[in-house]
Amino acid sequence: MPNSRSAPPGAILLATDLSARCDRALSRALQLARQWNARLVVATVLPPVPAQRMIAGILDAPDPLVREHARQSVEWRLRLDLGAEADGIALEVRIGEGHVGRALLQLAAEAGCGLIVTGIASDPAFELPALGSSVLWLTRHCPLPLLVVHRRVRAPYRNLAVATDFSESARHATCQALDLFGPPLRLALVHALETPGSALLAGDREMLQAQARLRANEQARDFQAGLPTLAAPGQVQAVIEPGDPARLLRQHAEAEDIDLAVVGTHGRGALFELLIGSVARRLVATLETDTLLVRDPRSLPPQPEP
Per-residue pLDDT tens over the stretch 234-281: 688 899 988 888 888 889 988 998 999 998 876 444 444 454 444 555
The pTM assigned to this predicted structure is: 0.83
Of 129, 153, 177, the residue at which a domain comes to its end is: 153
pLDDT in tens, 6-43: 778 999 999 987 776 678 898 999 999 999 999 999 88
Other residues' Cβ atoms within 10 Å of the Cβ of residue 162? 28
Q: Which of 28, 245, 41 is nearest to 147 (CA)?
A: 28
Alpha carbons 37 and 25: distance in angstroms, whole number: 17
From residue 85, alpha-carbon distances to 17, 30, 89, 90, 91 in Å are 19, 8, 9, 12, 11
Whether residues 112 and 195 fall in one domain: no
| Contact (CB, 8 A) for 134 and 44 | no
pLDDT in tens, 129-161: 444 567 777 877 889 999 999 888 989 999 999
Alpha carbons 161 and 109: distance in angstroms, whole number: 28
Position 105 scores a pLDDT of 95
Whether residues 42 and 176 fall in one domain: no
Residue 109 covered by a domain: yes
Greater model confidence, 291 or 134: 291
Whether residues 46 and 174 fall in one domain: no
- To the nearest 10 degrees (0 to 180), the angle between helices 202-225 and 168-181 is 50
Whether residues 246 and 186 fall in one domain: yes
Residue 75 covered by a domain: yes
Whether residues 127 and 31 fall in one domain: yes
Whether residues 188 and 277 fall in one domain: yes
Residue 1 covered by a domain: no
Greater model confidence, 97 or 199: 97
pLDDT band at 111 (very low <50, low <70, confident <90, very high): very high
Whether residues 87 and 194 fall in one domain: no
Residue 2 covered by a domain: no
Whether residues 54 and 113 fall in one domain: yes
From residue 233, alpha-carbon distances to 158, 172, 225, 256 in Å are 15, 18, 9, 18
Greater model confidence, 96 or 233: 96
Give residue 57's domain range.
7-153
Whether residues 160 and 92 fall in one domain: no
Whether residues 93 and 191 fall in one domain: no
Other residues' Cβ atoms within 10 Å of the Cβ of residue 271? 26
Whether residues 37 and 26 fall in one domain: yes
Position 234 scores a pLDDT of 66
From residue 117, alpha-carbon distances to 142, 143, 164, 293 in Å are 11, 13, 22, 10
Residue 235 covered by a domain: yes
Whether residues 102 and 229 fall in one domain: no
CATH assignment at residue 89: 3.40.50.620
Number of domains within the chain: 2
Residue 44 covered by a domain: yes
Residue 249 covered by a domain: yes
Residue 304 covered by a domain: no
